[in-house]
Chains A and B, each alone.
Chain A
Amino acid sequence: MTPLSFEWQWNVEYIIFFGLLYIALGVVSVGLVVVVIKTALQVFGFMRERHF
């Protein structure tokens, strides 16, 4: 459900419940995007390779 869905209600409960979910999903997505960008930069030689 998103704020554009017809069932959505603009009240605190919806904002907290979905807000927390979207924050968690956002952190995971941003993390993955950062990893993809870092990998691309390393592949094309714009960034030093890191090893663990």
Chain B
Amino acid sequence: MRAAFISHSDCGRHDTGWGHPEHVGRLRAITRALRDDPELFHSIEHLEGRHATIEELELAHDPAYVRSVRIIAEQGGGRLDADTVASSGSWDAATAGAGCVLLGVDLSVSGVNLRSFSAVRPPGHHAVHNRAMGFCLFGNVAIAAHYARQKHGLRRILIVDWDVHHGNGTQALVENEPDIHFVSMHQWPWYPGTGAADDRGPHETVWNIPKPAGLPRSDYVDALERGIDAATEGFVPELILVSAGFDSLAEDPLGGFTLELDDFESLTRSLVARADSWCGGRIVSALEGGYAPERLAQAAVRHLSALAT
């Protein structure tokens, strides 16, 4: 079994401008870093994703909102919230971003590629039911969770979000479903201001781990591992989805965590071991944040390397 690296050329058409931190150079840096590691490059499967359908987007989003994103893009783009912009290519990029993660689910469930990492943009974990937020248009991972349940009949899904920002959108889109457990470790206090430890969701299926900036890196790793332990006590997931935000790396311009490349590799190896014992190794990971392109790329490569092991 080879791990899959999934992306889509349309993800580069979400034009936010080079002055915006979430720019197309992030994906190009990942591709370059992968080319610089020929052994890994040749050991994984490189796949072009697909576009999510409108019906698939509506598994998590308001149809009127989905329509509005399409119309805004058709009209040349615009500003969706204070720091989220859309261009004429954003509809194709956002549907491709979600579609790549859905392909990852298909491949994982079918056993063709049990593990995958989708290098996609725009990211997704802030997008809520009826609006874009924090650079995110559609909740790629949340859509994938609902898709896995509806299309493939899976029931229990674990979502792990290690982006430095709280995955408020993912939480909002899955917290009403008791069989989807969501773990998010994030900087606190920080954008978007949600994700308090006592916010457990209506079914107590949410484990928020707010942490201050600047702690020793092992504190973050240990806290996330404990969070995953708590979320899986008496709960054996059939699929693990990862919101892989690499803005929790030290020196990221939009975060204050201190994680290093080794930490993402060890966290990924830990998840792989857990997935092997719980669900035949199924892990579908998707890029979220990470705004120092070269560092983001190195972290993504280490993450992918651990997935491919």
Q: Do the two chains bind?
A: no
A residues neighboring B (CB under 8 Å): none
